[in-house]
C-alpha cells in the first residue's frame, strides 16, 4: 500500500480545513451552540425531564449526531467533487495510486474533521448543560463508525453529483429531515404507537439511539440493532464505492 499517497491526499484535505477554518470549524460550532441556547435553555426549561435526564442534556447526543452526519457528508462530497470539477481527478487516476488509497485519503480526512467537530461540540455542550458519559469507549466507537459511514456516503455523492446544486440535494432534502425526525430532540417513546412504528423505518433513529445510550444508558432501540445498522450501512457504502471504481462511473467519462 502506498502510504505516502494516502498521507498526501489526507494532508491536502486537512490543510484545506485550516485555510477555511471559519467555515469548516467555527460556523458549525456556533450553529450547534445556538441549538443548545434555544432548545436547551429557552425551551428546555419548560419541558419536564425525559427518563430522569434534563431536556438540555437529553438533546446533546442528537445535536452532535446531526452535526456529524451533515458535516461528514459535506466534507467528503466536496473533497472528491472539486477535483472532478477542476479536472485534476484525471491526474490522480493516472498516478500510481490505487482506488483504496484514494478512498482512504479523502474519507479519512473527512471523518477526522467530523470527529474533531464532534468532540469540540461535546466540550461546548458541557458549558451549557451538565453531561455524563456512562460508556465513553462506546461513545467513541459510535462516533468513529458514524463519521466513517457518512463520509463514505459523502464520497459517493461527490462522485454522483454533476453540479454544486446536487451536492446539497441529499444532505438538505434527505439527511437533515431524517435526523430531525430520528429522535434528535425527543424520545421515540413519546410518539403515538403508530408513529413509533413508522419512525423505526428511519435508519437515523438507530444511530442517535445508540449514541445516546453511550451517554445515559437509555435507548429507543437495542444497542445491538444500532451497531448492526451502522455496520450494514458501512458495508453498503463500501460495496457501492467498489462498483464505482470498477465501472468508472462518472470518473472516466
Q: Could you read off the pLDDT of 133-183 as tens digits, one per residue?
A: 999 999 999 999 999 999 999 999 999 998 888 888 888 889 989 998 998
Confidence of residue 19 (pLDDT cuts 50, 70, 90): confident
For the chain, the first-to-last Cα distance in angstroms comes to 27
Q: What is the mean pLDDT of residues 59-69?
A: 91
Confidence of residue 113 (pLDDT cuts 50, 70, 90): very high
Considering the chain, what percentage of its residues have pLDDT values greater than 90?
49
- Give pLDDT, residue 41: 64
Confidence of residue 253 (pLDDT cuts 50, 70, 90): low
- Give pLDDT, residue 236: 96
For the record, the C-alpha cell of 195 comes out as: 408513529
Q: What is the mean pLDDT of residues 94-106?
A: 89
- Give pLDDT, residue 128: 79
| Those residues with Cβ within 8 angstroms of residue 225's Cβ, 6 or more apart along the chain or in another chain | 206
* Spatial separation of the C-alpha atoms in residues 196 and 30, rounded to whole Å: 32
Nearest to 224 by CA among 213, 235, 238, 237: 213
> How many contiguous H segments (helices) and E segments (strands) does the chain have?
13, 0
Q: What is the mean pLDDT of residues 33-42?
A: 72
- Give pLDDT, residue 206: 95
pTM value surpassing 0.85: yes
* Spatial separation of the C-alpha atoms in residues 143 and 68, rounded to whole Å: 8
| Those residues with Cβ within 8 angstroms of residue 95's Cβ, 6 or more apart along the chain or in another chain | 5
* Spatial separation of the C-alpha atoms in residues 53 and 47, rounded to whole Å: 11
**For the chain, what is the mean pLDDT?**
88
Amino acid at each position: 500500500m502506498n502510504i505516502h499517497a494516502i498521507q498526501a491526499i489526507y494532508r491536502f484535505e486537512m490543510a484545506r480545513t485550516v485555510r477555511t477554518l471559519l467555515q469548516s470549524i467555527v460556523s458549525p460550532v456556533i450553529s450547534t451552540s445556538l441549538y443548545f441556547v434555544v432548545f436547551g435553555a429557552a425551551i428546555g426549561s419548560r419541558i419536564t425531564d425525559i427518563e430522569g435526564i434534563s431536556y438540555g442534556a437529553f438533546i446533546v447526543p442528537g445535536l452532535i449526531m446531526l452535526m456529524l452526519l451533515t458535516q461528514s457528508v459535506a466534507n467528503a462530497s466536496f473533497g472528491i467533487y472539486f477535483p472532478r470539477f477542476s479536472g485534476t481527478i484525471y491526474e490522480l487516476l493516472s498516478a500510481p495510486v490505487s482506488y483504496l488509497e484514494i478512498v482512504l485519503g479523502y474519507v479519512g480526512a473527512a471523518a477526522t474533521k467530523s470527529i474533531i467537530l464532534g468532540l469540540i461540540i461535546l466540550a461546548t455542550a458541557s458549558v451549557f448543560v451538565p453531561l455524563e458519559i456512562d460508556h465513553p469507549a462506546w461513545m467513541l466507537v459510535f462516533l468513529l463508525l458514524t463519521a466513517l459511514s457518512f463520509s463514505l456516503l459523502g464520497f459517493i455523492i461527490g462522485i454522483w453529483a454533476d453540479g454544486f446544486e446536487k451536492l446539497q440535494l441529499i444532505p438538505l432534502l434527505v439527511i437533515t429531515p431524517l435526523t430531525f425526525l430520528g429522535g434528535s430532540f425527543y424520545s421515540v417513546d413519546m410518539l403515538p404507537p403508530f408513529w413509533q412504528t413508522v419512525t423505526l423505518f428511519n435508519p437515523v433513529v438507530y444511530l442517535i439511539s445508540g449514541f445516546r445510550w453511550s451517554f445515559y444508558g437509555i435507548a429507543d432501540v437495542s444497542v445491538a440493532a444500532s451497531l448492526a445498522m451502522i455496520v450494514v450501512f458501512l458495508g453498503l457504502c463500501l460495496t457501492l464505492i467498489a462498483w464505482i471504481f470498477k465501472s468508472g462511473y462518472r470518473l472516466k467519462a
